[in-house]
Amino acid sequence: MIGRELITYPDQRLFAEAVAARTLLTMNEVLGSPDRERVDVAVTGGSDGTAILEAIGASPLLDVVDWRRVHIWWGDERFVPADSDERNERQARDALFDRLVAGGRMDDAQIHAMPADTRTEQERAHATKEETRDALRHAAAVYQSELVGELGQAAAMDVMMFGVGPDGHFASLFPDHKELLIDDPDILVAGLDDSPKPPPTRLTFTVPMITRTEYLWICGSRAAKADAMLGTFTHERDPHWPASFADARRQLLWIGDEASTSRLRA
Ligand SMILES: O=C(O)[C@H](O)[C@@H](O)[C@H](O)[C@H](O)COP(=O)(O)O
């Protein structure tokens, strides 16, 4: 495993602004490397993930990045209909990407949302467990094909950011859930139908996909995350603390505010 570092900011607002600035500067740096055509970034849902995207939109550094060369992916998604407000995609579009597309900085084709549940309300309500699992398996395979189609067999993100749940989950990889233990390097995306955080049906990057990222940041602000920040940072590959499976090729950071990192600094 690569070395881990902890970064603490004074409060939640500065945390979001600092992660936003870090993201923009890192994207620009990647794009500046020789022969580099594009930068691939995976975002996430939840309050911290959304606050960071809002801060990117408001950042004075927004235009250090050539957005025409940026591709956006999701590290996890709630498997609900496309028009649901619960979608991480919806929240991220509202927070940032719709504005970048409307303003002409990006094209919608650069935004790679995870598949939505295309079944009707009735089909969903009457589906057997196996039918729902099939729908999830199919959706995971579709996203994996998109990844491989765009980035090749060794598809990897340049930058990936995750929120961390109070239970230590990241992406949609939950404590003691089997998807966390997928270690087949050919499985990049998985579905699950028993998420303890609603909604129960979700799609997620697997650990093999996550850990081949260049820059990986585990982000958590507020006191509610203090146990999770401690547990995930101080354990390694512990199924009770899913984000302890985080690893990266170049940089692995836990980023928080004073409240969320209090137990790590005690
Ligand atoms: O779909 C989701 O709910 C997220 O992708 C999830 O993994 C989230 O990032 C964490 O639960 C932290 O969420 P908060 O920042 O809201 O606590």
Residue-by-residue pLDDT tens, the chain, 266 positions: 899 999 999 999 999 999 999 999 999 999 999 999 999 999 999 999 999 999 999 999 999 999 999 999 999 999 999 999 999 999 999 999 999 999 999 999 999 999 999 999 999 999 999 999 999 999 999 999 999 999 999 999 999 999 999 999 999 999 999 999 999 999 999 999 999 999 999 999 999 999 999 999 999 999 999 999 999 999 999 999 999 999 999 999 999 999 999 999 88
**What backbone torsions phi and psi does residue 252 show, to the nearest 5 degrees?**
-130, 110
Question: What whole-number distance in Å separates Cα of residue 85 and Cα of residue 92?
Answer: 11
**What backbone torsions phi and psi does residue 201 show, to the nearest 5 degrees?**
-95, 125
Q: Given the structure tokens 């603390």, which residue do they identify?
A: 241
Q: Which atom in ligand 1 lies closest to the alpha carbon of residue 221?
A: 15
Annotate 70-119 with DSSP letters as a single string. Answer: EEEEESEEE-S-TT-TT-HHHHHIIIIIHHHHHTTSS-GGGEEPPPP--S
Question: What whole-number distance in Å separates Cα of residue 199 and Cα of residue 194?
Answer: 9
Encoded tokens for 232 = 């995930």
Q: What's the confidence (pLDDT) of residue 265?
A: 86
Cβ pair 256, 229 in contact under 8 A: yes
Q: What's the confidence (pLDDT) of residue 266?
A: 81
Residues with CB under 6 A from ligand 1: 44-49, 76, 78, 88, 163, 165, 169, 171-172, 197
Encoded tokens for 244 = 């302890």
ipTM beyond 0.85? yes
Q: Which atom in ligand 1 lies closest to the alpha carbon of residue 75?
A: 5
Q: What's the confidence (pLDDT) of residue 263?
A: 97
H-type helices in 202-247, by residue range? Answer: 207-210, 226-234
Question: What whole-number distance in Å separates Cα of residue 39 and Cα of residue 35?
Answer: 12
Protein residue whose Cα sits closest to atom 8 of ligand 1: 46
Question: What whole-number distance in Å separates Cα of residue 46 and Cα of residue 198?
Answer: 12
Protein residue whose Cα sits closest to atom 7 of ligand 1: 171
Q: Which atom in ligand 1 lies closest to the alpha carbon of residue 166?
A: 17
Q: How far is the CA of 44 from the centre of ligand 1 (A)?
A: 7
Pocket test for ligand 1, best of 12, 19, 43, 48 (most atoms within 8 A of CB): 48
Protein residue whose Cα sits closest to atom 11 of ligand 1: 165
Give the 3-state secondary structure of residue 183: coil
Q: What's the confidence (pLDDT) of residue 103?
A: 97
Domains and CATH numbers, the chain: 4-30+37-206+219-265 (3.40.50.1360)
State the Rg of the chain over Cα.
18
Encoded tokens for 111 = 């935004």
Give the orientation angle of helix 46-58 with respect to helix 12-32, to 10 degrees. Answer: 70
Q: Which atom in ligand 1 lies closest to the alpha carbon of residue 77?
A: 1
